[in-house]
Amino acid sequence: MNDCLFCNIIAGTVPAQKVYEDDTTYAFLDIGPVSKGHTLIVPKEHAVNLTEGSEAAATAMMKTVYKIAPGIVKALGASGYNLGMNHGTDAGQLVFHTHVHLMPRYAGEPRTFVKSHPAQEELATIAEQIRKEIFF
């Protein structure tokens, strides 16, 4: 799907700060994060939303969440995280490729869903910190 942003990120034709990849999933930092380390986990199989994709892709996506969440928390000193999925336009879905948001949370910081716009250098540093704690 050459018009799908996330398919292009997976293919390497659009740059992203990758934190994890395996045969079926890809995880990268959100460019408009609501918290430091806000990561998107996507199946490599293209589907507009969760119920249009395969059960295998959905299961693989959640296995990746399970695998990388502890590394993200440890790497960034988070005290917890939110998981989110927007299914459809009315739910706020902006990119029509199934994905889960993993949003680290930090003690003493207000929980917000307002996007920020960090510099690419900052995202690259965060991605490197996370990759060091995730064992491929």
Q: Which residues contact 124 (CB under 8 A, 6 or more apart)?
A: 17
101-110 confidence digits (pLDDT tens)? 999 999 999 8
**Over the range 38-51, which residues count as b (16 or more CB within 10 Å of their CB) and which as e?**
bbbbbbbbbbbbbe
Catalytic status, residue 101: no
Q: How many domains does the chain have?
A: 1
Q: Are 48 and 77 in contact (CB under 8 A)?
A: no
Q: Are 29 and 127 in contact (CB under 8 A)?
A: yes
Residues 75 and 106: their CA atoms lie apart, in Å, by 12
Choice among 38, 97, 99, 101 that is catalytic: 99
109-125 confidence digits (pLDDT tens)? 989 888 999 999 999 99
Residues of the domain holding 118: 5-133
Q: Which CATH number is 75's domain given?
A: 3.30.428.10
38-75 confidence digits (pLDDT tens)? 999 999 999 999 999 999 999 999 999 999 999 999 99
Per-residue DSSP letter, 82: E
Q: What is this structure's pTM?
A: 0.94
